[in-house]
Homo-oligomer: A and B are copies of this chain.
């Protein structure tokens, strides 16, 4: 089935190249992009065209790191650093998902907002609770979004009310979850989710590595977010050369396994080299890293190293679901980082930030986040009606403006893999 949409089309081919096609035609067939044309090729001339003339049309955005249960408490108790915040805010709040009624209420609000947002693909942390995690997956499957969802593993250094009783129990619950959802979803996939090294015993990590191999799962976790956390990891895994090496010792740091590590704010050189060597994705979460006083990741260095990288909202360390806002904030914190370190590094450009939020993160899902031939066709038609302007602007100016100014649900139409959500 061939479909055609007309509008002011913008997409990235690489991090320095923003393609803009005013009054262009985006063509896709069975969910895959055929291409973008400034005039409609003759062979399509008899097909209907979805007319979005005058509206910006861009690829869907990818959120590489988000805690679904934390959406319910985003935006308050923010005057704390990571470890204090986990204990006084994140853990007690996540414990509430033991109650399926609370989970349904909270996750319904979350998935409804995700559906309306600019995000078409996301990698999510759930909680350790199986019924709530499956409920989240049910809701996400209905939403039409493409997601990876992880039941969280955590068996140490957590409060009793939110701690699995042993490595064995945590591993068994994970297998129970995986077997129970096997074959149930089309759009919603499981991802192995050890919370972070401080919350997972060596035995649990070893068992999870076994489950990863047996089920061929991708992996997501946290890396080098906060200096105290990093020092703690060094105590907990004294044989590790770095925080990343601690994951690597258990075989849970990329290589053949698609892996995302969130934050990477304070990576020493050898850890950055290991990220690169193992092809691990960095989920850059600028808002969260500011809110939790973590810092600002060295994104320019990561780009120079040609690391795999995308953006994350990190709800509720971050408060905003919008990956557009993450783009603006990635630029802003890169500027503050450059000013404070005085290292002369060039701040992120608008083209680079847009790339990270589209094709950069999208590539974790395969060919996603662009309109190049063969890409899975996720489309956003943007609503600029709330930001009137006294003059004619170029497409690039309009896109930059939208990145800085848009609200969370200023989306007119949204397609995932070529299918219209609204």
A interface with B by C-beta (< 8 Å): 72, 74-79, 102, 105-106, 109, 287, 290-296, 319-320, 328, 331-333, 335-341, 347, 349-350, 387-391, 393, 396-398, 400-405, 407-408
Contact = CB atoms under 8 A, between A and B. Distances in A.
Given A74-B401, A102-B390, A391-B72, A290 B79 contact: no
B294 A339 contact: yes
Contacts of A332: 287, 290-291
Contacts of A407: 407-408
Contacts of A74: 401, 404-405
A75 B400 contact: yes
Nearest to A337: B340
Identical chains in the assembly: 2
Contacts of A328: 319
A401 to B, nearest CB: 4
A387 B110 CA distance: 10
A405 to B, nearest CB: 5
A97 to B, nearest CB: 11
A54 to B, nearest CB: 18
A388 B350 contact: no
A336 B79 contact: no
Contacts of A337: 340
A390 B78 contact: no
Given A390-B102, A390-B105, A331 B400 contact: no
Contacts of A388: 109
Q: Of residues A77, A292, A340, which shows the largest number of chain B Cβ atoms within 10 Å of its Cβ?
A: A340
A390 B106 contact: yes
Contact of A405 (B77, B292, B320, B397): B320
A187 to B, nearest CB: 25
Nearest to A102: B390
Given A76-B397, A78-B404, A337-B340, 6 more contacts: A74-B404, A79-B347, A109-B390, A293-B335, A293-B339, A340-B340
A339 B295 contact: yes
12 contacts: A72-B389, A75-B401, A79-B347, A79-B350, A290-B332, A291-B332, A293-B335, A293-B336, A295-B340, A319-B405, A336-B336, A340-B341
Contacts of A293: 335-336, 338-339, 347
A295 B336 contact: yes
A402 B74 CA distance: 10
Contact of A78 (B295, B319, B350): B350
A331 B389 contact: no
A404 to B, nearest CB: 4
A401 B320 CA distance: 11
A287 B333 CA distance: 10
Contacts of A79: 331, 347, 349-350
